[in-house]
Amino acid sequence: MKILIYKNSAFWILVVFFLILPIILESFLPIHFFSSYWFLSFPSIFIVLFRFGPKSGITILCISSVIHVFWEVFEFFGTGKLLSKEEFEMITIVNLVKVSVTVLTTVYLMKINRQKKELQILNDKLAKLAHMDHLTGLPNRLMLQDYINQEIKNSKKYNKKFSVMFLDLDRFKEINDTLGHATGDSLLIQVAERLQRSVRKNDVVFRLAGDEFVIVLEDITREECINVAERIINVMSDSFILEGKESNISPSIGISFYPENGESYQVILKNADKAMYIAKMKGKNNFQFV
């Protein structure tokens, strides 16, 4: 807090210094030298624009320019001198230069700001693509690890538990090999859509790899987990339309819980995977707990 106050104080001292320096110098230098020292206020243009942005910066600098002009007029009236044509032209030109520099600097800063925003949007899109499965649009393995690690932190903090479902499609390799990869991709997209419809609002579906999917279910009991698993099996029992024909496929689901079945990403996922293989050995199209 003290550092922030110090930085703010230093900033305003610097701004005020550059703004009033020409006026101070006027007291010691001839009037025809004074206008050249107006350029000493240019650092304030950059300081104010960078600190407050284009809109607020222009407002502040316009006010400062008006104050300087009035100060000039006041000085002449105060001393009883007449403002010569040369002096008037000098004051006008210097202020026009100052305004021009302000406008050009503002345009330049706005251009930089726009480019920064465009770059940020691009970076956000790239980050999203890195964490999303390109085929199904689901979060991918990379996102899954980050998500589960975050769930572990939240569960420890609020004394809750969550569940991980590891789902593998039965007969997917057969369909993929006989009908082709394009048809297999179409099937995976349809499966992803059905899985998203089957889970609860706060549950998240991930595509791990190939025909493997993982579902993370927040703050859930064993009974609620059974309901979700049964709903998935029921939804997946409806025929899929592949190349204009009906095809059937079923899921084998393994379920693990945090913290009972592991307290790290690797252990939780590994145990859910083991439970999934048990489901396959027991006839497929079913779910098993660790």
Is 9 a member of any domain? yes
CA 99 to each of CA 9, 48, 61, 83, 105: distance values in angstroms, whole numbers, following the listed order: 26, 14, 8, 22, 10
In this structure, the answer to whether residues 86 and 24 fall within a common structural domain is yes
Of 63, 95, 129, the one marking the end of a domain is 129
- List 168, 170, 203, 211, catalytic entry: 211
Nearest to 213 by CA among 173, 249, 169, 263: 169
Contact of 272 with 255, CB cutoff 8 Å:
yes
Q: Count the Cβ atoms, other than its own, within 10 Å of residue 196.
A: 15
Instruction: State how many domains the chain has.
Output: 2
pLDDT band at 38 (very low <50, low <70, confident <90, very high): very low
In this structure, the answer to whether residues 170 and 241 fall within a common structural domain is yes
Predicted pLDDT at 286: 97
Residue 236 scores a pLDDT above 70: yes
Q: What CATH number is attached to the domain comprising 180?
A: 3.30.70.270
Is 134 a member of any domain? no
In this structure, the answer to whether residues 43 and 174 fall within a common structural domain is no
Residue 7 scores a pLDDT above 60: no
Q: Count the Cβ atoms, other than its own, within 10 Å of residue 125.
A: 10
- In percent, how much of the chain has pLDDT > 90? 44
In this structure, the answer to whether residues 161 and 242 fall within a common structural domain is yes
Predicted pLDDT at 31: 47
Is 135 a member of any domain? no
Contact of 65 with 95, CB cutoff 8 Å:
yes
Domain that holds residue 73: 2-129
Task: State yes or no: is 211 an active-site residue.
Answer: yes
Predicted pLDDT at 33: 41
| Alpha carbons 217 and 256: distance in angstroms, whole number | 10
In this structure, the answer to whether residues 161 and 221 fall within a common structural domain is yes
In this structure, the answer to whether residues 105 and 154 fall within a common structural domain is no
In this structure, the answer to whether residues 152 and 257 fall within a common structural domain is yes
β-strands 245-247, 212-217: how paired? unpaired
